[in-house]
């Protein structure tokens, strides 16, 4: 028995144990609100296909670590429609709650968030999982306004997982914490999401005031970590112009942490992400203790006056501990590639083994002895180092040319405590003689860009805890990008009926790729892609009561 089969068998065993004494409740648009108040730990409320026009109001829904409350839909066939009265999914004083497999349509109603944990004051929301949500039309209808949000927290929130969600065209994609610094967001996992074409931030994590963590027992722990990995953050279109409305905002911003006490030693780890285009501001701005590595940053439409990665003093709080290593930056900007400003000189800020191609100053503000083994050149000269750095999607490929991007072994002792410090953007073990996000050169045998949304862009099996016991039966789809034909590897324990569909990013069906029975063990399915289809699509695999979605790029 292979390790993969053992994993799947164990996952199924855990599922059988978990649901043996739980209620599985099926509801429809006419009766679903009657079941919400009675949900108890271990219950699963399944909302069948249809349009749901009333708020999903979740107040005091508290599961347990072993028996969360699960509310799930039939993927994009279950549509939660926004209503002007209130936020579409509203969470107050909830814990150990899983919300998954819905389409949330904001209908461009102003100031109605797709998913919001609110209440302020002493309200809380912890151990919340949001998974496989498609959030569209959540931008309101006021030009330039970014106050309508896809996913937001405005109460004390900790141990959240936001995974495999697609947010298109919101005012702000993800907004965690409150603008006044009183509602901390602590210890999150934000992975494998696609957030594109927002007016303001793709994502912002707000500042935390001194002492605020002591108010909420669940957050009054220091040295917590928020991981942001394997996401796509793009403002290629839709961004608010400079000086208009509420402002344009960076793709991602992580604000400052408390200066003393609980939270002052928290960290952000940002790795394996693809940041693409922002015509009005930086791709990433940080103040809190941040480590960013093995990310791709590309800005072909960079504005004057803004760098690509900006590490700066915000609201009087200077940058503290910073680690920037193995990032690849290709930016048509006249300003800094990695800029550190007004740093706290009592802390260390390191900039190692990055590849920075920009028309401005490549790296600035770091102590000179902490700038080690970086490769820098102009934006146009990136073609001398990388396969296809100046083209637009989908042809973009930042993998090193043969014989390029190498040098002496870069000392890595400073970075070995970080989660995947030795894994490159493709998921390969990093050879520390390379610079930038990739190890290797020549033909890119991994992902030209960050395309796959689940389970990781590297095709690795993560722990059962990270998957919440769900049997992730799909191995890989290849090739990706694809043109005419694809193959899918599927591993199952028993004969099962399966439906595989190609859908667009808003969940509209394009073509059924396969429908039929699969035998136990490993199955390889070949499927012909439709004529005339080019661009990003989702492949949806439905098997028993489970749905897995993968993102694919079709190039005709």
Q: What is the DSSP secondary-structure string of 419-448?
A: TTTTB-TTSPBP-TTB-SS----SS--S-S
Q: What is the H or E stretch that residue 59 is in?
A: strand 56-59
Summarize pLDDT for 342-363 with one digit per residue, the tens: 999 999 999 999 999 999 999 9
Instruction: Tell me the sheet residues that pair with 92.
Output: 59
pLDDT, tens digit, 9 for 90 and up, residues 395-414: 889 999 999 999 999 999 99
The confidence score (pLDDT) of residue 450 equals 42
Q: Where in the chain is the domain with CATH 2.60.40.1930?
A: 475-554
The pLDDT-based confidence of 459 (bands split at 50, 70, 90) is very low
With cut-offs at 50, 70 and 90, classify the pLDDT of residue 484. Answer: confident
Average pLDDT taken over every residue of the chain: 86
Q: What is the DSSP letter of 418?
A: S
Query: Is CATH 3.30.565.10 correct for 3-415?
Result: no
pLDDT score at 470: 26
* Residue appearing with tokens 């940058």: 319
* pLDDT tens figures, 509-521: 889 988 888 888 7
Read off the tokens for 541: 């695999």
Q: What would the pLDDT profile of 45-98 be if each residue is shown by its tens digit?
A: 999 999 999 999 999 999 999 999 999 999 889 999 999 999 999 999 999 999
- The answer for residues whose C-beta is within 8 angstroms of residue 343's C-beta and 6 or more apart is 311, 318, 319, 322, 349, 365, 366
| Range with the poorest average pLDDT among 83-97, 117-131, 161-175, 488-502 | 488-502
d(CA 211, CA 74): 43
Q: Say if residues 186 and 225 touch (Cβ distance below 8 Å).
A: no
Positions of CATH 2.160.20.10 in the chain = 3-415
For the segment 223-249, what is each residue's pLDDT rounded down to a tens digit? 999 999 999 999 988 788 777 766 679
Q: What is the pTM of this model?
A: 0.81
pLDDT tier at 11, thresholds 50, 70, 90: very low
Which among 241, 18, 14, 39 has a CA at the least distance from the CA of 145?
A: 241
Would you state the pLDDT for residue 506? 63
CA torsion sign for 300, 304, 307, 313 is negative
- CATH for 475-554 (2.60.40.420, 1.10.3720.10, 3.30.200.20, 2.60.40.1930): 2.60.40.1930
């Amino acid at each position: 028995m292979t390790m993969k089969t053992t994993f799947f068998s164990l996952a199924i065993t855990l599922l059988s144990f978990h649901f043996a004494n739980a209620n599985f409740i099926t509801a429809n648009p006419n009766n679903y609100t009657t079941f919400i108040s009675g949900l108890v730990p271990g219950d699963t409320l399944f909302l069948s296909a249809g349009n749901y026009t009333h708020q999903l109001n979740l107040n005091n829904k508290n599961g347990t670590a072993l028996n969360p409350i699960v509310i799930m839909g039939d993927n994009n066939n279950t549509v939660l429609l926004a209503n002007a009265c209130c936020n579409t999914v509203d969470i107050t004083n909830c814990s150990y709650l899983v919300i998954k497999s819905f389409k949330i349509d904001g209908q461009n109603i102003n100031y109605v968030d797709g998913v919001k944990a609110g209440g302020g004051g002493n309200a809380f929301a912890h151990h919340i999982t949001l998974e496989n949500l498609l959030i569209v039309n959540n931008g309101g209808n006021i030009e330039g306004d970014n106050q309508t949000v896809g996913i937001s927290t405005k109460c004390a929130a900790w141990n959240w997982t936001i995974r495999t969600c697609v947010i298109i065209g919101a005012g702000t994609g993800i907004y965690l914490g409150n603008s006044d610094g009183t509602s901390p967001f602590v210890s999150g996992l934000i992975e494998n999401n696609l957030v594109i074409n927002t007016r303001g931030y793709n994502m912002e994590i707000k500042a935390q005031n001194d002492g605020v963590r002591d108010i909420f027992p669940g957050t009054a722990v220091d040295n917590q970590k928020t991981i942001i990995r394997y996401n796509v953050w793009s403002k290629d279109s839709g961004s608010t112009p400079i000086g208009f409305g509420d402002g344009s905002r960076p793709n991602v911003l992580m604000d400052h942490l408390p200066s003393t006490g609980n939270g002052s030693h928290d960290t952000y780890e940002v790795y394996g992400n693809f940041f693409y285009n922002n015509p009005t501001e930086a791709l990433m701005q940080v103040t809190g203790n941040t480590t960013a590595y093995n990310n791709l940053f590309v800005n072909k439409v960079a504005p004057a006056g803004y760098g690509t990665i900006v590490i700066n003093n915000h609201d009087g709080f200077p940058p503290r501990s910073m680690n920037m290593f193995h990032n690849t930056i290709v930016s048509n900007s006249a300003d800094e590639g990695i800029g550190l400003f007004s740093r706290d000189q009592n802390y260390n800020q390191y900039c190692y083994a990055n590849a920075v191609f920009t028309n401005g100053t490549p790296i600035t503000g770091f102590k000179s002895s902490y700038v080690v083994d970086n490769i820098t050149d102009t934006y146009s000269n990136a073609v001398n180092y990388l396969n296809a750095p100046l083209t637009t999607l989908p042809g973009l490929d930042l993998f090193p040319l043969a014989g390029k991007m190498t040098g002496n072994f870069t000392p890595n002792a400073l970075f070995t405590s970080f989660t995947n410090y030795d894994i490159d953007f493709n998921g390969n073990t990093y050879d520390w003689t390379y610079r930038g996000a990739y190890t290797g050169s020549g033909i890119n045998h991994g992902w030209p860009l960050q395309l796959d949304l689940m389970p990781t862009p590297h095709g690795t099996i993560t722990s059962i805890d990270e998957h919440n016991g769900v049997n992730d039966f799909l191995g890989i789809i290849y090739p990706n990008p694809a043109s005419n034909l694809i193959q899918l590897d599927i591993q199952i324990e028993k004969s099962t009926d399966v439906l595989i569909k190609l859908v667009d990013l808003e969940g509209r069906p394009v073509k059924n790729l396969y429908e039929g029975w699969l035998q136990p063990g490993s199955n390889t399915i070949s499927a012909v892609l439709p004529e005339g289809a080019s661009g990003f699509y989702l492949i949806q695999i439905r098997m028993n009561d489970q749905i897995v979605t993968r993102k694919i790029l079709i190039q005709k």
